[in-house]
Amino acid sequence: MATLSREMVIQQFMFKAKKDREIRNGSDEGFQSALILSCCWISFEAFTCLTYQINGVWERIKKFCNDFSDRYSEWFDKSPDDFRRDVTNLKKYPISDMRPGHGHVDPISISDEKKLENVLEVVYRIRCNLIHGGKNVKDDIDAEIIRLSSGVIYYILDHFLREEGFNW
């Protein structure tokens, strides 16, 4: 049985995210957005594990941000309108840490949409809340937060992973 390489994982999950974005509809949009966010995050994890041989997801996120932050800042102003709108709308929401056993952690929000680490920290918390905590795709506000974060991570990965030579 053949194993999937990390490169194939990156490409296949981004392809799935792209297809899910194309078929979104109103009745299941919260669930579809959760799938898009999950697929994108799997691609991101595969890329950071492939690129940075270090343990700890937050350490890999910070390394990615360190390597891509200047390019992100330059790209932000010419990025797609949908991406900038999603980041701006996501800024409105303070994101609590809803994971069980994590005690009280102050909510975070996007304070600077041109700072990649700030944006990814918020998206990562939303992803953690969705997978481990209490984000609910049937709740209107949670569904909106998930939808916005799925768009944000999709556009970031679509742009930068393509720059790195990945296609889907």
Each residue of 122-157: pLDDT tens digit? 999 999 999 887 777 888 999 999 999 999 999 999
Is residue 67 in some structural domain? yes
Q: What is the pLDDT of residue 1?
A: 47
With bands split at pLDDT 50, 70 and 90, how would you rate the model's confidence at 3? low
Residues 78 and 33: their CA atoms lie apart, in Å, by: 24
pLDDT of residue 139: 86
* DSSP assignment string, 87-154: HHHHTT--B----TT------B--S-TT-HHHHHHHHHHHHHHHHHS---TTSHHHHHHHHHHHHHHH
Residue 161 pLDDT greater than 50, yes or no: yes
- With 0-12 CB in 10 A as exposed, 13-18 as middle and 19+ as buried, what is 137? middle
Report pLDDT for 23: 83
In a domain, 1, yes or no: no
Number of domains in the chain: 1
Asked, for residue 98, whether it belongs to a domain, the answer is yes
Print the domain residue range for 42. 6-20+29-163
DSSP run (H or E) holding 151: helix 140-163
For residue 97, tell me if it sits in a domain. yes
Tell me, yes or no, whether 168 lies in a domain: no
pLDDT digits (tens, 9 = 90+) for 20-57: 998 866 557 778 999 999 999 999 999 999 999 899 99
Task: For residues 70-97, give the mean pLDDT.
Answer: 96
Domain presence at residue 62: yes
Q: What is the pLDDT of residues 89-116, one digit of tens each?
A: 999 999 998 777 766 789 999 999 999 9
> What number of other Cβ atoms are within 10 A of residue 164's Cβ?
13
